[in-house]
Amino acid sequence: MTTDDTELVRILDEDGAVVEGADVPDLDDETLLGIYRDMRLTREFDRKAISIQRQGRLGTFASAAGHEGAQVGSTYALADDDWILYQYREHGAVVVRDLDSSYLEYWMGHERGNAALADDNVFPLNITIADHIPHGVGMAWASKLKGEEKAFVVHFGDGATSEGDFHEGLNFAGVFDTPTVFFCNNNQWAISVPAERQTASATFAQKAEAYGFEGVRVDGMDPLAVYAVTRDAVEKAKSPEEDELRPTLIEAVMYRYGAHTTADDPTVYRDEAEVERWKQRDPIRRFEAYLEGTGRLDAERAAAIEAEIEERVAAIVEAAEDAERNPAEMFDDAYAELPDELRTQREAFLSLLDEYGDEAFLRDH
């Protein structure tokens, strides 16, 4: 598999300077600072979530560090009524769509936090690899049949390309010309499997050719490049030119700094020197350098943004932990009608809650 940077769409180099000949998106200062703020918010939310997970206050968590440019940049390219279907690591997309404490509640084990995402046109989080890809294609097809002008952006990792759902979804999208943007977050590792063991193709983007539509490879740690590529894909999804299919497969080349999840130990399968090399491309540092170089950001404003973000994340954590708990809700959405065995378990569980009280039971069990 190639990692040749010459194939990547790139606007900013590793030092945050505009690449010669690059077409910089025409975004106003407020939007550019918004992208910066949301990238930093994503990083801080990620850092805090891992911290409280280590303290036993949160369930298993998937880190997004290193992915901020791809997640935030791509979401800024969408209209509010476009849909996002994500895997489980795209916290930056949720940040742009107005992160609040309900999202953290989901990671604490409360399903209502997952359901709340739909209010912001975000499909509920998907743990099963690639299962949401056919769902996204189906939603896009239904929207097209209704005559709507919406795009459906489906995020997944490079490991998802080895699943049957990936191939079925992309094939259907090509045949039925659905307004779908497939966003492959190639972070080099699907848990412990490197990208070169995931496919014999030179790139993931070129897989689109087999389904009859365009594939694009972009520097996923360059938020401006991701924005531009996603914007173009969304425009094509909604209003393709003659003889042009609506779908696009975007391969965003990036790196996962941390563990696959908090249950993983990446030191077992990768070299720390590799991590440090990729950190030289850090999306936040690069974008910050660009904003400083163009006079849009200075140390005082950056410090104010940092303070604002820390305060917001602290408030989100506090609100999530103070939210009312009803642990019996774990049974509500497993089946339309509970099987007898689970009904028996629920009744036994409810009796324990009555005996101990919710707070005491959660504390002691």
Interval 142-154 mean pLDDT: 97
pLDDT digits (tens, 9 = 90+) for 226-255: 999 999 999 999 999 988 899 999 999 999
Catalytic residue from among 89, 97, 155, 256:
256
Does 363 score more than 80 pLDDT? no
Q: Does pLDDT of 1 surpass 80? A: no
Q: Domain limits of the chain?
A: 5-322, 327-364
Residue 111 has what pLDDT? Answer: 79
Q: Which of 239, 291, 238, 221 is nearest to 69 (CA)?
A: 221
Whole-angstrom distance, CA of residue 79 vs CA of residue 72: 13
* Residue 256 known to be catalytic: yes
First to last CA, the chain: 48
Tokens at residue 215, please? 């594939």
Three-class SS of residue 340?
helix
Q: In percent, how much of the chain has pLDDT > 90? A: 82
Could you read off the pLDDT of 55-113 as tens digits, one per residue? 999 989 999 999 999 999 999 999 999 999 999 999 999 999 989 999 999 898 887 78
Judged against a pLDDT cut of 70, whether residue 305 lies above it is answered with yes
Active site residue 43: no
Asked whether the predicted pLDDT for residue 332 surpasses 90, the reply is no
Which of 217, 231, 205 lies closest to 24 in space, CA to CA? 231
Q: For the chain, what is the mean pLDDT?
A: 93
Strand ranges of the sheet holding 214-219, from the earlier edge strand across to the other edge: 122-123, 83-85, 152-157, 180-186, 248-253, 214-219
Write down the pLDDT at residue 265: 95
Q: What tokens appear for 172 in the block?
A: 């259907």
Question: In this model, does residue 2 exceed pLDDT 90?
Answer: no
Please name the residues in contact with 16: beta carbons below 8 A apart, sequence gap of 6 or more.
285, 286, 287, 288, 289, 290, 292, 293
Overall average pLDDT of the 219-224 stretch: 98
Give the confidence band of 115 by pLDDT, cuts at 50, 70, 90. Answer: confident
153, containing H or E segment: strand 152-157
Q: What is the pLDDT of residue 90?
A: 95
pLDDT score of 222 more than 90: yes
> Which pair of structure tokens corresponds to residue 261?
């999840």
Instruction: Please tell me the least confidently modeled range out of 81-85, 147-151, 327-331.
Output: 327-331
HSE-up (13 A, CA, CB side) for residue 354: 6
Spatial separation of the C-alpha atoms in residues 204 and 215, rounded to whole Å? 8
Mean pLDDT value of segment 131-147: 97
Q: Average pLDDT in the 333-362 region? A: 81
Q: Which of 99-103, 167-171, 195-199, 332-336 has the highest mean predicted lDDT (pLDDT)?
A: 167-171
Residue tagged active-site, from 10, 155, 260, 281: 260
Position 112 scores a pLDDT of 79
CB 121 within 8 A of CB 143: no
- Domain 5-322 fold is Rossmann fold (3.40.50)
Token look-up 């590799």 returns 274
269 is catalytic: yes
pLDDT of residue 7: 84
Contacts of 317-325 with C-beta under 8 Å, sequence gap 24+, read 317/48, 317/52, 317/101, 317/104, 319/100, 319/101, 320/101, 320/102, 320/104, 320/105, 320/108, 320/113, 321/57, 321/108, 323/101, 323/105, 323/110, 325/110, 325/358, 325/359, 325/362
- Encode 177-207: b = buried (16+ Cβ within 10 Å), e = exposed: bbbbbbbbbbbbbbeeeebeebbeeebbbbb
| C-alpha dihedral (200, 202, 205, 211), degrees to nearest 10 | -60
Neighbours of 119 (CB within 10 A): 10
**pLDDT reading at 208 higher than 70:** yes
Report the DSSP beta bridge partners of residue 248.
181, 214
Q: What is the pLDDT of residue 329?
A: 80
Take residue 51 and report the two structure tokens written for it. Answer: 């911290």
pTM, whole model, 2 decimals?
0.92
Buried b / exposed e over 57-68, threshold 16 CB at 10 Å, is ebeebbbbbbbb
Query: Which of the following is catalytic: 269, 277, 335, 343?
Result: 269
Give the total residue count for the chain: 365
Tens digits of per-residue pLDDT, 283-298?
A: 999 999 999 999 999 9
Query: What amino acid occupies position 310?
Result: E
